[in-house]
Copies of this chain bind each other. A is one copy, B any other.
C-alpha cells in the first residue's frame, strides 16, 4: 500500500510541517470528485454548478464582482462562463457602464438548477455524515476564515 511504503511523503511526524497548500489542494480534489459523482449525470461539473448557483442568487452580478466572490481570477471566470453560456444556462450582457458586463441566469438555467438541487443535497449530506456534523461545520467556517486571513 502506498500509505505504508511512502509514509515519508508526510515528511515529518509533526503534522504542522505538512505543506498546507498540498493538503488543501488534495482535499479539494477529493471533494470535487465526490460532488462530481453526484452531479455528473446532469452534465455540469461542480465548478459550473457553483457558477450557475451564483448567477441565480446574485442575478445581474458583474464578472469582476463574481470573480472576487469566487476567489478566482477574473479571466478564469470569463472562460468558465463560456460552457454555461454555450448551453444557454446563462447570458452575459452589457451594463449601463459599458465597460462592465452582468451575468443573468436564463429560465433553462433555473430549471436545471432546481432539478439538480436534490443531487447536490445528497452529496452535501453524505459528506456531512461521513466526516461528522461538527467537523463539517467547522471546516466550512475554517475555509471561509482562511480566505479572509489571506486577503485581508
Contact = CB atoms under 8 A, between A and B. Distances in A.
Nearest to A11: B57
B19 A143 contact: no
Interface residues of A, number: 65
- Interface of A, helix, strand, loop or mixed by DSSP: helix
A127 B151 CA distance: 11
A58 B9 contact: yes
A34 to B, nearest CB: 5
Contacts of A58: 5-6, 8-9
Q: Most chain-B CB neighbours within 10 Å: which of A5, A29, A130, A151?
A: A29
A100 interface: no
Contacts of A137: 15-16
